[in-house]
Chain A
Amino acid sequence: MSVSFKTPLKVTALLSVAALGLTACGGTTTPSATESATAGSTATSASAPAEKVEIAYMHRLPDGEGMTKVADIVAKWNAENPNIQVTATKFDGKAQEMITKLETDVKANNAPCLAQLGYGEVPEMFVKGLVEDVTTEADKYKDQFGGAFGQMTVGGTTVGLPQDSGPLIYMYNEAEFEKLGLEVPTTAEELEAVAAKAAAGGKYAAVFTPDEAQNWLAGQAAGAGANWFSSENDQWKVDTTDAGTTAVATMWQNMLDAKSALVVNRWSEQWDAAILDGSIIGHVAAAWETGFALDTLDGTAFEGQWRVAQLPAINGSAMTGPDGGSGVAVMKGCEHPAEAMAFNAWFNTQVDDLASQGLVPAATAAATTPEKMSRQFGGQDVMAELVTANENTNAVNYIPGFSAVGPKMNEAAAAAGSGTGKVADVFTAAQDASIAALQDAGLPVAN
């Protein structure tokens, strides 16, 4: 038996090697369909009664505990608008995976009518031909939205409406600041000084987060007056060597060299531990972080001690920059763009409901600070502070392919954080990766 066993086994071995080796390439062609097919089927089943239309809407909102659920908001609309019935589906996955799903859905002609897109992804989706031109429809609702309206416009074509924005702010622990005799920093120099003083007292008033480098540092640069992506003679021009960007690099490099900034990934156990034990007392954060960043402090001595302030002026610029934020776009192949946009405009002006999801609504109507946020920030009117930041945002004109730029920036930021590189390298990486991304997509770029 043992002798005759040998040869067949070898053959099987080789066959299975071939099988496993080749499935590796087969696997990549299969789209990651994490979502049920309901979203797609409702979009195509609009052949129902002539007046009644059905709209599918796919989102990535948190829908967490104590929030007004998206389904409940949508139910309100459906009750008032029997002829425009909306089905909302939550995509449980990363933003990038949802993009890939939408791409395959559009090709298969069963994409949802409306989908949530990050502002950084909108130009990319436009270039790929995955969104509808709804400029005329969008213009009807333009005055209900602030500056973020421009983030849903690509080269003069509007593809949807903005939902929330994430201007950078500075959040700090007021009680700890008082204990250490620190003033809230209003300039980059003051932030450096405050961080140095806090570090002397064993605390960190500044945190360098390599895994968030892409939008976090790009936003700070924009706040400092940088305009990385512009056009000249119908060609892209990429420039990350301006004074504002350099000032951002200098500020963080100084704090890293002085060891006055804590280096941790934003989405890590290290961060969670440092916020919980009180070693972090200040952080340059995106506005949306106020919705959940302090959740772990509920019931601890630190509850209610934190406050929100404006981003310190870097390079003498009193502006801030965007870190994230997204809108709802009309996807290619949507059969009822007008009805979809009507819902889109209504949904994104339900500011109090959206604020409960931890968003800073892009609509101009002011949202009231949710109860939870008010408690966590010691009764401060956080929303008012965030709206101020929103109004002072210097927008970023994202290039198509910006999502490929981020990983290179984050990698360089990790090197800077561990001391093997410099913060300035992050911006060199951004420059090189941006030019490569544009060239690889076949778009004109000036060198």
Chain B
Amino acid sequence: MSAATVSSAPKARGRWSRQAKHEALSGWAFSLPFFICFCLVFAAPIISAIYSSFFQEKAAGGGLFGGGEKTSVFVGLENYIVAGTDPAFWAGVGRVMLFGIVQIPVMIVIALVLALVLDSFLVRRRAGWRLSFFLPYAIPGLIAAIIWGYLYVPEVSPIAANLPELGGNPFFMAPQVVLWSMANMTTWTYTGYNMLIFLAALQAIPSDLYEAARIDGASGWKITTRIKIPLVSSAALLAVLLSIVGTIQLFNEPTVMQKLTGWMPNTYTPMMMSYNTMMGQLTPSGTGPASAISVLMALIAGVLAVLYFVAQRKVNK
């Protein structure tokens, strides 16, 4: 571009703007597929969900069966008030929070350790290990939950059969334990995935840093704690944020466990509550109330993500 601007200024300006226009146009054209997809699969459902969260299906007529017709009624913020004042909703939020506070650090630490070990010269056949750690993530979440379910049911499990019952429930399915039974499932599934994030960040560290450290006489342990771990902190941010979001959306595991235990309510996690509201298993039911729960949870997830982001930046400074 510098070559073009060297020649006489006014002439260049006219040519330049034509070229810029052309460039801008083709730029937009190139990004068009993205914007179309973005609007179709991302923006449109969100807008539709937010819109429908202000409506409720109500009986149109009178009588015992409401005249056999339903109409969509604008109810303002009522769906949000119903969800926001429902203790079952907040109990569900509390459960996923507790889950996240315990499970996320455990999983992130294991993932980091695995990544550091794979990145060091301690292991041979790195690709094989990497694949085997990552493999659980490739198994569909529901299938994984069912596999773990079989390990939790005393009648078919080699482990659970030897554990005591708690309050009339099998050990892994008791109210005190079930949250951690699910935490175990998600840790198993996502540790390899997070490890991969860390590994990618580790391998992006230029090797001259290590060489310089070695010349300065740093040991392998020092290199790990002083160079590797600080330099993957932004990868940790990504991993933790993704985990927070995953925790908020906890659905497969509790749904499978509900089937196995029988005592878990339809509101055990907020996403289960939203789904069951949609399916008419909870009232008020329908798209409106279900969307309101989802939008609330999206907001909570957003707030948590921003809080974590800010906190981490403060710590880094």
Contacts and interface: CB of A to CB of B under 8 A. Distances in A.
A20 B246 CA distance: 8
B283 interface: yes
Contact of A126 (B42, B65, B279): B65
Q: Chain A contact residues: over half helix, strand or loop, or mixed? A: helix
Nearest to A159: B68
A210 interface: yes
A267 B258 CA distance: 12
B283 A436 contact: yes
B127 to A, nearest CB: 23
A236 B66 CA distance: 11
Contacts of B281: 96, 403-404, 406-407
Contact of B305 (A14, A440, A441): A14
Interface residues of A, number: 75
- For A96, A157, A404, the residue with the greatest tally of chain B CB atoms inside 10 Å of its CB is A404
Contacts of A407: 265-266, 276, 281-282
A404 B283 contact: yes
Contacts of B150: 269
Given A14-B241, A29-B52, A124 B280 contact: yes
B298 A22 contact: yes
A324 to B, nearest CB: 17
A66 interface: no
B8 to A, nearest CB: 37
A28 B287 contact: yes
A415 to B, nearest CB: 6
B263 A28 contact: no
B204 A2 contact: yes
Interface stretch (A190-198, A287-295, A417-425): A417-425
A234 B63 CA distance: 6
B46 A13 contact: no
Interface stretch (A4-12, A217-225, A334-342): A4-12
Contacts of B275: 28
A419 B167 contact: yes
A155 B309 CA distance: 58
Q: Chain B contact residues: over half helix, strand or loop, or mixed? A: helix
A259 B109 CA distance: 46
B168 A442 contact: no
Given A1-B204, A128-B57, A9 B237 contact: yes
A140 to B, nearest CB: 22
A30 interface: yes
Contacts of A235: 64
Given A21-B245, A97-B279, A407-B265, A127 B70 contact: yes
Given A25-B49, A25-B295, A265-B262, A441 B283 contact: yes
Interface string B257-300: 00111111110000100111011111111010011001101100
- For A124, A127, A413, the residue with the greatest tally of chain B CB atoms inside 10 Å of its CB is A127
A16 B68 CA distance: 44
Interface of B: 42, 45-46, 48-50, 52, 57-60, 62-66, 68-70, 150, 153-156, 167-169, 201, 204-206, 209, 231, 234-235, 237-238, 241-242, 244-246, 248-249, 259-266, 271, 274-276, 278-285, 287, 290-291, 294-295, 297-298, 301-302, 305, 309
Task: Kindly list the 5 A-B residue pairs having the minimum CB-CB distance in the complex, ordered from nearest.
Answer: A26-B45, A418-B168, A25-B294, A414-B263, A440-B283
Interface of A: 1-2, 5-6, 9-10, 12-14, 16-30, 96-97, 99-100, 123-124, 126-129, 133, 154-155, 157, 210-211, 231, 234-236, 263, 265, 267-270, 272-273, 400-401, 403-404, 406-407, 410-411, 413-415, 417-420, 433, 436-437, 440-444
Given A17-B305, A265-B260, A410-B262, 13 more contacts: A13-B309, A14-B305, A17-B241, A21-B298, A24-B248, A24-B271, A28-B275, A29-B49, A154-B68, A270-B154, A400-B66, A420-B167, A441-B59
